[in-house]
C-alpha cells in the first residue's frame, strides 16, 4: 500500500506532519510531494525542520502567482508524479490552491482522494479557500472532519455518510506535541516581552491587506491598541509588500513588526499572549485550545466551533470597536472555553486507522 501526500503551504505542513508519523508507525509506504506554493525558507524550509517532516520526494516548484496560475501549474506538474508513483490513495490537506489542484488530478487519474479537514464552510464564495474546500470535498472518497459541525455540513450537501469520518483536529496533534518545547523558547526574552503583557497580531487575507484603505484602517486601530497593550506582529511576506505599497509605517517599540517566525517561536508567542488579533483559520483553532482571547478580523468563519467552544470573536467591519474589546479582554480575561471533542492530539492515529482499514 502506498499513500501520497500533497502539501503546499504553511498550514498544510502542520496538518500533514502527524499523519505522516502515524502512517509510518503502521509501516505504510509513503510519498511526500511539496507543490512549492509556499516556497521561501521562512514559510517552508523552517517548518519541515521544526516539524520533523521528511524531505519531500518531489518538489513541484510552483512558486507565487494568481489562484488560476498556481492551481494550473500544480495540476500540470503533479500529473506525471502520480502516473509514476500510482499510489493507492492521495491525501490532501486544508483549503489552499495545492489542495484542490491535487484532488482534481488524482480524481481524473482514478486515484481515490482523502481530504483532511473536510466539511469546513464559511458560506462565503468570495473567499478562494471556500471554493477550494467545496470542490475538494465533492471529489473525495474519504472526508476526515474535525468536529460535528463540519460533518453536518457535508451531510446537508448530500455526501454519503460512509465517506465521513469524525477524527478530530490534526493541527492540535502538532500543537500538543510541540507546546512543551515551545514554552521554553527564549523568544520572549529576546523581544523584551513579559508573559501575558502583550498582544499578538497575524494578518494576511486579501480582505484585510489588499485594499489600501482597509489596511490603513487596520493599522490605525492596531496603533490605538498598542498605546495600551504592546503588540508584536510577525508579518506575512504578502502583507509586508502591501504595507510598503500603501506607504504605511507602523513599526515602533509599542507595535513591533517581525519577520515570519518558525512554529516553535510563534506558538510560544501565542500561548503567552494576553490576546491575539488574526484573520487566520489555524490561529482561531490554536487559541481555542490554548484559552487565549482571539479576535478575528473577518465577517465570517468556517470554524464556528472556535466561537461556541473557544475564545474566538468575529470583528467584521466594526474594527473601530476592536481596541475597547481587546483591552477589556486583556484586563478581565477571555470568555470561558472548552476544548472541542476529539481535539486531543490523537486525530492522526484515527486517520491512519481508517486509511489502513479501507486501503491497506
**CATH of residue 89:** 3.40.50.2000
* Residue that the C-alpha cell 500529473 belongs to: 79
Catalytic residues: 204
**To the nearest 10°, the Cα dihedral for 259, 262, 268, 274?**
40
Claim to verify: residue 185 and residue 163 sit in the same structural domain: no
Tell me the pLDDT band of 334, cut-offs 50, 70 and 90.
low
Q: Higher model confidence: residue 48 or residue 1?
A: 1
Residue-number span of the structural domain to which 22 is assigned: 2-169+343-359
- Across the beta sheet with 275-278, the strand order is 255-258, 231-234, 199-202, 275-278, 294-296, 312-314
Asked whether residue 211 carries a pLDDT value surpassing 60, the answer given is yes
Classify residue 72: in a domain, yes or no.
yes
Note if the pTM is more than 0.85: yes
| Distance in angstroms (rounded) separating the CA atoms of residues 324 and 8 | 38
pLDDT digits (tens, 9 = 90+) for 33-88: 999 875 554 456 777 888 989 999 999 999 888 999 999 999 999 999 999 999 99
In a domain, 272, yes or no: yes
Q: Are residues 117 and 10 in the same domain?
A: yes
- Position 220 pLDDT exceeds 90: yes
pLDDT at 44: 63
pLDDT at 168 over 60: yes
Region 253-266: mean pLDDT is 93
In a domain, 107, yes or no: yes
Q: Pick the residue with more confidence: 46 or 165?
A: 165
- Express as a percent the part of the chain with pLDDT over 90: 85
pLDDT recorded at residue 41: 47
Share of the chain above pLDDT 70, in %: 97
Within this chain, do residues 163 and 258 fall inside the same structural domain, yes or no? no
H helical segments located in the chain: 10-25, 46-50, 67-85, 97-108, 128-138, 148-156, 170-183, 187-191, 206-209, 212-228, 237-246, 263-271, 281-290, 305-308, 322-332, 347-359
Residue 6 has pLDDT above 90, yes or no: yes
The C-alpha angle with vertex 242 and arms to 241 and 243, in degrees rounded to 5, equals: 90
Residue 323 domain flag: yes
Residues with Cβ within 8 Å of residue 278, at least 6 apart in sequence: 200, 201, 202, 203, 284, 287, 294, 295, 296, 297
Task: Give residue 336's pLDDT.
Answer: 73
- DSSP assignment string, 163-184: GEEE---HHHHHHHHHHHHHHT
Q: What is the pLDDT of residues 136-156, one digit of tens each?
A: 999 999 999 999 999 999 999
pLDDT the model gives residue 40? 54
* Residues 131 and 225 placed together within one structural domain of the fold: no
What pLDDT, on a 0 to 100 scale, did the predictor assign at position 263? Answer: 92
Domain count within the chain: 2
Please give the pLDDT value at position 268.
98
| Residue 174 domain flag | no
pLDDT surpasses 80 at 333: no
101 and 150 inside one domain: yes
Indicate if 146 and 258 belong to the same structural domain.
Answer: no
Average pLDDT of the residues of the chain: 94
Pair 260, 219 in one domain: yes
pLDDT at 335: 64
What is the per-residue pLDDT for 39? 53
Same domain as 228, residue 192: yes
Asked whether residue 264 is domain-assigned, the answer is yes
338 within a domain of the structure (yes/no):
no
Q: What tens digit of pLDDT does each residue of 266-325 get? A: 999 999 999 999 999 999 999 999 999 999 999 999 999 999 999 999 998 889 999 999
Amino acid at each position: 500500500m502506498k499513500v501520497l501526500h500533497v502539501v503546499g503551504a504553511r498550514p498544510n505542513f502542520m496538518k500533514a506532519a502527524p499523519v505522516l508519523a502515524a502512517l509510518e508507525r503502521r509501516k505504510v509506504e509513503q510519498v511526500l510531494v511539496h507543490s512549492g506554493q509556499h516556497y521561501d525558507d521562512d514559510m517552508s524550509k523552517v517548518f519541515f525542520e521544526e516539524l520533523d517532516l521528511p524531505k519531500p520526494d518531489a518538489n513541484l516548484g510552483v512558486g507565487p502567482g494568481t489562484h488560476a496560475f498556481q492551481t494550473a501549474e500544480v495540476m500540470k506538474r503533479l500529473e506525471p508524479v502520480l502516473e509514476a508513483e500510482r499510489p493507492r490513495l492521495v491525501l490532501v490537506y486544508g483549503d489552499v490552491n495545492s489542495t484542490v489542484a491535487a484532488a482534481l488530478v488524482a480524481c481524473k487519474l482514478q486515484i481515490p482522494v482523502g481530504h483532511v479537514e473536510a466539511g469546513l464552510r464559511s458560506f462565503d464564495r468570495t473567499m478562494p479557500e471556500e471554493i477550494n474546500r467545496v470542490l475538494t470535498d465533492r471529489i473525495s472518497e474519504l472526508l476526515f472532519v474535525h468536529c460535528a459541525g463540519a460533518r453536518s455540513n457535508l451531510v446537508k450537501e448530500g455526501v454519503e455518510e460512509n465517506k465521513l469520518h469524525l477524527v478530530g483536529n490534526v493541527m492540535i496533534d502538532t500543537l500538543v506535541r510541540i507546546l512543551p518545547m515551545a514554552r521554553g523558547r527564549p523568544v520572549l526574552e529576546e523581544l523584551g516581552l513579559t508573559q501575558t503583557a502583550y498582544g499578538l497580531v497575524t494578518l494576511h487575507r486579501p480582505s484585510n491587506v489588499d485594499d489600501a484603505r482597509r489596511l490603513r484602517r487596520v493599522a490605525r486601530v492596531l496603533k490605538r491598541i498598542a498605546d495600551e497593550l504592546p503588540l508584536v506582529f510577525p508579518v506575512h511576506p504578502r502583507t509586508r509588500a502591501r504595507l510598503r505599497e500603501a506607504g504605511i509605517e507602523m513599526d515602533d517599540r509599542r507595535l513591533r513588526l517581525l519577520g515570519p517566525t518558525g512554529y516553535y517561536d510563534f506558538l510560544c508567542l501565542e500561548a503567552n499572549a494576553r490576546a491575539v488579533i488574526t484573520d487566520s483559520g489555524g490561529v482561531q483553532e490554536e487559541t481555542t485550545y490554548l484559552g487565549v482571547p482571539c479576535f478575528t478580523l473577518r465577517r465570517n468563519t468556517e470554524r464556528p466551533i472556535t466561537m461556541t467552544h473557544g475564545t474566538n470573536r468575529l470583528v467584521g467591519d466594526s474594527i473601530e470597536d476592536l481596541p475597547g474589546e481587546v483591552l477589556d479582554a486583556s484586563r478581565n480575561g477571555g470568555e470561558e472555553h472548552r476544548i472541542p471533542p476529539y481535539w486531543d492530539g490523537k486525530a492522526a492515529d484515527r486517520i491512519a486507522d481508517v486509511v489502513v482499514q479501507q486501503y491497506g
